[in-house]
Amino acid sequence: MTQINKRPLKRFSIILTVIVLIVALVLGSFLYLNSQRGYVGNVESLIVGMEPNQVNLLVYVAENQSYLAANGLNVTIKDYASGSAAVNGLLNGEVNVATSTEFVVANNALANQGIQTFGVIDKFLQIYVIGNKDRGIENVTDLAGKKVGLSVQTASEFYLGRFLELNGMDLDQISLVNVTPSQVEDALENGTVDAVVAWQPYVGAIENRLGNSTVMWDAQSGQVAFDCAVSTNNWISSNPELVKRFLNSLAQAEQYIIYHPAEAKIILQNRLNLTAAYVEKVWSQYRFSLSLDQSLILAMQDESRWLIQNNLTNATAVPNFLNCIYVNGLKSVEPESVNIIG
């Protein structure tokens, strides 16, 4: 029987594999370099209002890595005490774009303020109820009759209400005190309030400052919150290309975080003056990626019903939140990130 010499076939297979790998490498390099090509056109200014917080890491990375500039955007970041304050700045004409939680978007939709979100830039779990043991708080039920500090008209108000409901209580059993995020540490320590609703990085600061004097519960009960990029309906409809270029910058930042997480953590540390240990501790609480999906609408519907039921709005019906979401920008940049029914 004639023996078939398999050596030429094996050699051919190896050569073919090498050729395929080279072609894939060249094509991949071409696509990557093409995606990094700078924008050719007029540079336009954009003012973005945000709370200095890790939920906005995509923006910080886009700024640090010059993705915004590469997309023809001269961006100025204006700091606000909260996302709600940033949206108020947007409505007052101080900024072109703001970032805030979906709760703020829902609240403004109920008031018919004419804003839209054009992209979620983070999903996070970072809001906590923190009680001071020295003020007699050991269990959730100890909050009854106590003063609880929080930043009103922010997501913390909703999460506190939902947290109490899940524990057989309601907002009528406590006294709410309006405390800005930067004041929560002092207010809790000096007895201005008995407990606070706070988010990171203030939670970590309270832990470091008060230590074993505190008791802490997850206010979100596992329900993620959304950090949304928002603007007015009029600005978005007049500037669709700016929206697209801004989102493209964030999409590049998203890829950077995926492939360079260590460097992204350093950017966050330096931008917000955080420690490496703190960033490592909380990193898993955030999902830094662009999206517009059905869970965003469901969350806003739930929050709207809560606001109506608790008489915290003059509205009596849940809005159609499809009118509060602009999808065309993200569809043109990351179509796979858009998953909204309707």
DSSP states along 94-147: S-SEEEEEHHHHHHHHHTT--EEEEEEEEEE--EEEEEEGGGT-SSGGGGTT-E
- Model confidence at 206: pLDDT above 80: yes
- What pLDDT is stored for residue 37 in this prediction? 53
User: Collapsing DSSP states into helix, strand and coil, what is residue 159?
Assistant: helix
- What pLDDT is stored for residue 266 in this prediction? 98
Mean predicted confidence (pLDDT) in 243-267: 98
**Among candidates 202, 216, 93, which has minimal Cα distance to 143?**
216
* Tens digits of residue pLDDT in 82-114: 999 999 999 999 999 999 999 999 999 999 999
What class, spelled out in words, does domain 44-123+225-339 have in CATH?
alpha beta
Q: Between these two residues, 14 and 328, which has the higher pLDDT value?
A: 328
> Any idea which residue has 């739930």 for tokens?
302
H helix runs in the chain, sequence order: 7-35, 57-64, 67-70, 83-91, 102-110, 155-166, 184-190, 202-210, 233-238, 240-259, 261-272, 276-282, 294-309, 328-333
Average pLDDT, the chain: 91
Residues in the chain: 342
Judged by average pLDDT, the poorest of 70-74, 221-225, 260-264, 286-290 is 221-225
Percentage of the residues of the chain whose pLDDT score is greater than 70: 89
Q: For 58, left (φ over 0), alpha (ψ -120 to 50), or beta?
A: alpha
- Model confidence at 65: pLDDT above 60: yes
Please tell me the pTM assigned to this model: 0.85
Cβ neighbours around 191 below 10 Å, total: 11
Q: Which CATH architecture has domain 127-218?
A: 3-Layer(aba) Sandwich (3.40)
